[in-house]
Amino acid sequence: MVGGFRISMSRLILCASAMLAALPLPAWPQEFPTRPVRIVVPLPPGGSNDLVARVFSDKLPAALGQPVIVENRAGGSGNPATEFVARSSPDGHTLLLANTAHVVNAGFFPALPYDPIKDFSAITLAYNVYFALVVNASLPISNTREFIDYTRAKPGALTYASSGIGAPHHMAMELLQSMTGGKLLHVPYKGAGQFVPAMLSGEIHSVIGAINSLLPHVKSGKLRALALAGERTSPLLPGIPTLGETVPGFNLDNWTGLLAPSATPSATIQRLNAEFVKVLRLPETIDRLTPQGIEIVASSPQVFHETLRTNLAKWTKLIREANIRID
């Protein structure tokens, strides 16, 4: 009897095993990434954002096991590209290479179809671009204090360039004016390719601009660098102080970082952070980007999220108080 029971149980187990084998296996999610990763750049090709995106597309495929594609979606002050990423599937396969305009635009466009913080998950603050206050060398101005005094004594007599309303050049000079009481005349251009020649000819007197486009002319003596606009000095401009040394509290947060749609899984964010940070810290990456006036940051997601939050408050406050508008 006992032996028969054991035989029956053995047959039952065999039958059950056969039935289970015939059932479809559960569809477990595949490990990220499962297809090419797309980095959306809300600017045309060229410039520091595009340069760094190409570094990522070169270096990341080996680590991720998938191609990394750079997609330039310029126009509309970057808002259409940003909305596209915000509305993409939150699976880590579509990312945004965002810069300071990501939060500045919230001050200019109160009816944006996305929230610059709530609709995104921060991956890493990637880098800062060194900006400097630079003047035409013919001006009788040799330091920041003299520049400020001139703009106070002769309001509107000096012009300054930007690559458009809301661009970092524009916001930086508006911030400086709000903190010093000086007054300059804003002349917007379409980019450094236009305003640098205007500065060299004397048509434009000053700019707070990226040093990579200005450095050759500073070295030639045609332009004069007065101060760095960020918190730190640059080895590319030895001996040049920061604006904050003369104007305490001044700091141009001209950053670029990587964002994913909100609700992207935490494990995917951590994987992306680890891989992007690894590429940014490669000696060959640093050697390639440093001469372009790019300072590698490579932060945690938490640090980048806090940067977004504080910058949103800072720039929207300035835009409101200075009554800056995009016509």
Dihedral through CA 171, CA 172, CA 176, CA 179, nearest 10?
60
* 3 state DSSP class of 206: strand
Flag whether pLDDT at 303 surpasses 70. Answer: yes
Percent of the chain scoring above 70 in pLDDT: 90
Residues 6+ apart with CB under 8 A from 5: none
Residues 6+ apart with CB under 8 A from 302: 122
Q: Give Cα 83 distance to the centre of its chain.
A: 16
Q: Do 226 and 143 contact (CB within 8 A), yes or no?
A: yes
Mean pLDDT, range 253-277, rounded to an integer:
96
Check residue 191 and give its pLDDT.
81
Full DSSP string of 94-116: EEEEEETHHHHHHHH-TT-SS-T
The residue ranking higher by pLDDT, 166 or 122, is: 122
Distance CA 15, CA 100 (A): 64
- As annotated, the residues of the chain forming the CATH 3.40.190.10 domain(s) are 131-229
Flag whether pLDDT at 14 surpasses 50. Answer: no
Residue 161 banded pLDDT, cuts 50, 70, 90: very high
Distance CA 141, CA 104 (A): 31
Exposed e or buried b per residue across 65-103, where buried means at least 16 C-beta atoms within 10 angstroms of its C-beta = eeebebbbbeeebbbebbbbbbebebbbbbbbbbbbbbb
- As annotated, the residues of the chain forming the CATH 3.40.190.150 domain(s) are 37-128+253-322
Mean pLDDT, range 46-50, rounded to an integer:
80
If we measure between CA atoms, which residue out of 327, 27, 30 comes closest to residue 164?
A: 327
Residue 148 banded pLDDT, cuts 50, 70, 90: very high
Residue 165 banded pLDDT, cuts 50, 70, 90: confident
Residues 6+ apart with CB under 8 A from 218: 134, 211, 224, 225, 237
Residues paired with 41 in a beta bridge: 72
Summarised one tens digit per residue, pLDDT across range 57-96 is: 999 999 999 999 999 998 888 899 999 999 999 999 999 9
56 Rama sector, left if φ>0, alpha if ψ -120 to 50, beta otherwise: alpha
Q: If you average pLDDT over every residue of the chain, what do you get?
A: 89
Q: Give Cα 307 distance to the centre of its chain.
A: 11
Residue 21 banded pLDDT, cuts 50, 70, 90: very low
Flag whether pLDDT at 52 surpasses 70. Answer: yes
Check residue 30 and give its pLDDT.
55
Summarised one tens digit per residue, pLDDT across range 221-260 is: 999 999 999 999 999 999 999 999 999 999 988 899 999 9
Check residue 48 and give its pLDDT.
82
Mean pLDDT, range 299-309, rounded to an integer:
97
Residues 6+ apart with CB under 8 A from 142: 224, 226
Domain over 131-229 is classified CATH 3.40.190.10: yes
Helices (H), the chain: 2-22, 47-64, 79-86, 101-108, 144-153, 168-180, 192-201, 211-220, 266-280, 283-289, 301-322
Distance CA 178, CA 314 (A): 13
Flag whether pLDDT at 273 surpasses 70. Answer: yes
* 3 state DSSP class of 31: coil
Mean pLDDT, range 195-220, rounded to an integer:
95
Q: How many residues does the chain have?
A: 327
Q: Do 82 and 42 contact (CB within 8 A), yes or no?
A: yes
Which of the following CATH numbers is that of domain 37-128+253-322: 3.40.50.150, 3.40.190.150, 1.20.120.640, 3.30.2040.10? 3.40.190.150
Check residue 28 and give its pLDDT.
30
Upper half-sphere CA count for residue 78 (Cβ side, 13 Å): 23
